[in-house]
Amino acid sequence: MKILVTGGAGFIGSNLVRHLLAETDHEVINLDKLTYAGNLASLADVQQDARYRFVQVDLCDAQAVKTVFVEHDPDSVMHLAAESHVDRSIDSPGDFIQTNVVGTYHLLHASLNHYQQMESPRRDDFRFLHVSTDEVFGSLSMDDPGFCETTPYDPHSPYSASKASSDHMARAWHDTYGLPVLVTNCSNNYGPYQFPEKLIPVVILKCLQGELIPVYGRGENIRDWLYVEDHCRALTRVLQKGTVGETYNIGGNNERTNLDLVKMLCGLLDELQPAADGKRYEENIRFVTDRPGHDLRYAIDASKIARELDWRPAEDFASGFGKTVRWYLENASWWQDILSGDYRMDRLGQKA
């Protein structure tokens, strides 16, 4: 089978491409625009794999998206490409509307054309897996049950509103045109290759650089955390075994306040790489003005995917975060190239 993965140069996408190549015999076409968040260095170890291809395409370029389907003739699509950082969505929402809404439309349109031209039995196995977030459900109070697949949408940030829009479109393309769509909504991911603007790498890298660690508000917001490889296993399971037209919520059953999480990361680093000045890293925590519209709590009820597809997270909180911190310690050149901007150098040595 040939799978078109969009956003394969990003955090989850690069882990997914690696997972598919290692755990299945599928071919993988990685469609990515290479925005600031896309980094082919995250896939350096698979570049030479004969089952892997990269195409640099912007989802907002309808003709280029169509051409990928004609030239590569995929058997399924896993759609991850998106603008994904909430803070950036507050500063420049237009990019989020273009990629997450308009780009998803172009991909759905091209996928439907392709699907309609396929012949059975290949056509019967075609799937369009739309990968989304729990942020579309809005915010929970402390004693609410976790989001389930029927929780009404209530997005609050431009990011979550754009993802909610794309989720609705994906489902509409199933209901209206019969495209074999599946949707997943997942909680916060952490693990190797996460861009250093998101909470976990920010904390690790601030510690390693001896800088102050910013925490929004009083650090009371609660998130559920899932190790990225567990998410990749879940996505592969949904693609292979999920029921067309259904949605599956994916979560780690690992709720923590941001402050507890940051302190836990500081404690891990105290053990693995003590600060040069002998201080404990958590002494560098500083509370900063809260994000506007910051949702208090997200939690996922992942019982449907456990019951129907026999998926559960394998990594627990301590082991997953231990692996993640060690990965950033052992792969300093990956994040140093990002912090310096060198990862955007083209072959002529100019920044993209």
Q: Give the active site residues.
A: 134-135, 159
Q: Which is nearer to ligand NAD, 155 or 180 (CB)?
A: 155
Report yes or no: 292 and 232 within 8 Å, Cβ to Cβ: no
Of the residues 3, 12, 110, 164, which one makes contact with ligand NAD according to CB under 6 A = 12
Residue 308: CB partners within 8 Å, gap ≥ 6? 243, 248
Nearest approach, Cβ of 166 to ligand NAD (angstroms)? 8
Nearest approach, Cβ of 52 to ligand NAD (angstroms)? 15
Helix H or strand E encompassing 158: helix 158-177
Phi, psi of 93 (to 5 degrees): -65, -25
List beta partners, residue 60.
none
* Sign of the alpha-carbon torsion through 115, 118, 123, 129: negative
229 near ligand NAD (CB under 6 A): no
Q: Which is nearer to ligand NAD, 11 or 115 (CB)?
A: 11
Of the residues 4, 5, 9, 265, which one makes contact with ligand NAD according to CB under 6 A = 9
Q: Which of residues 135-174 bind ligand NAD (CB under 6 A)?
A: 163
Beta strands in the chain (DSSP E): 2-6, 27-32, 52-56, 76-79, 127-133, 181-186, 188-190, 213-216, 222-227, 247-250, 255-257, 285-288
Q: Which is nearer to ligand NAD, 98 or 273 (CB)?
A: 98
Say how many residues touch ligand NAD, by CB under 6 A: 30
Per CB under 6 A, which region of 126-134, 169-177, 265-273, 290-298 contacts ligand NAD? Answer: 126-134
Q: Which is nearer to ligand NAD, 127 or 163 (CB)?
A: 163
Nearest approach, Cβ of 193 to ligand NAD (angstroms)? 8
CA dist., res. 213 & res. 199, Å (int) = 10
**Token representation of residue 260:** 């507890």
Q: Which of residues 23-82 bind ligand NAD (CB under 6 A)?
A: 32-35, 37-38, 58-60, 80-82
Report yes or no: 252 and 223 within 8 Å, Cβ to Cβ: no
CA dist., res. 240 & res. 331, Å (int) = 33
Taking each continuous run of H as one helix and of E as one strand, the counts in the chain are 13, 12
**Token representation of residue 4:** 């078109």
CA dist., res. 211 & res. 203, Å (int) = 9
- Percentages (nearest 5) of helix, strand, coil residues in the chain: 45, 20, 35
Q: Which is nearer to ligand NAD, 151 or 189 (CB)?
A: 189
Nearest approach, Cβ of 277 to ligand NAD (angstroms)? 33
Q: Which of residues 184-213 bind ligand NAD (CB under 6 A)?
A: 186, 188-189, 195
182 near ligand NAD (CB under 6 A): no
**Token representation of residue 123:** 């056509």
Nearest approach, Cβ of 315 to ligand NAD (angstroms)? 15
Q: Which is nearer to ligand NAD, 19 or 33 (CB)?
A: 33
**What is the bridge-based pairing of β-strands 255-257 and 222-227?**
antiparallel
Of the residues 20, 86, 131, 265, which one makes contact with ligand NAD according to CB under 6 A = 131
> Within 13 Å of residue 16, how many CA atoms lie on the same side as its CB?
30
Nearest approach, Cβ of 49 to ligand NAD (angstroms)? 18
Per-residue binding string, ligand NAD, 86-125, x by CB under 6 A, is -------------x---x----------------------
252 near ligand NAD (CB under 6 A): no
CA dist., res. 249 & res. 218, Å (int) = 29
236 near ligand NAD (CB under 6 A): no
Query: Which residues of this chain interact with ligand NAD, rule CB under 6 A?
Result: 7, 9-13, 32-35, 37-38, 58-60, 80-84, 99, 103, 131-133, 163, 186, 188-189, 195
